[in-house]
Structure 1
């Protein structure tokens, strides 16, 4: 029997997940998270373009593709930044992050 794919998360799960990322960063980075706010705000804006609410305009397929590529690039950049902060925290340079 072929395993079934997990059901897709509801559309409102993505903004909730982004809020959880914000809470986790706030708890882990304390003051250091403020430099990430512009990136997180841009992720939220881009996510709202990809998942418009009721009555909001939908993007054309071509625009969706561009926005998805932009979103993926932002997530990759955020991952790189968080990895750098983690490494720095492990070295003892950032309070509230990493292992000591």
Structure 2
């Protein structure tokens, strides 16, 4: 991978989509806002009554945290000898209507 990449999260009532370089990578129409301890988490919706039993925060203002983390244990903890091969720059998130309709995304 070389060059710049564009990442987008597009949300509308009933659907949230993740896009990389104008190609949709995944979308969700069924989600839950409960902890893993509560009933329903991870259960596939099978009927209209199962859809959005706990409303997700996408229908109200919320914060989106974007992070490029360095560390972990692969290939080891960074130190003064670690070579950082890339640089990152961001101009900040944008807010607005989806960039393309689902039918306009190639291969989807």
- TMscore range, shorter length: under 0.3
* Structure with more of its chain in strand, by fraction: 2
- Higher RCO (CA < 8 A, seq sep 6+): 1
- Which of the two has greater helix per residue? 1
Q: Scaled by the length of structure 1, what TM-score is found?
A: 0.24
TM-score by length of 2: 0.23
Q: Larger C-alpha radius of gyration, 1 or 2?
A: 2
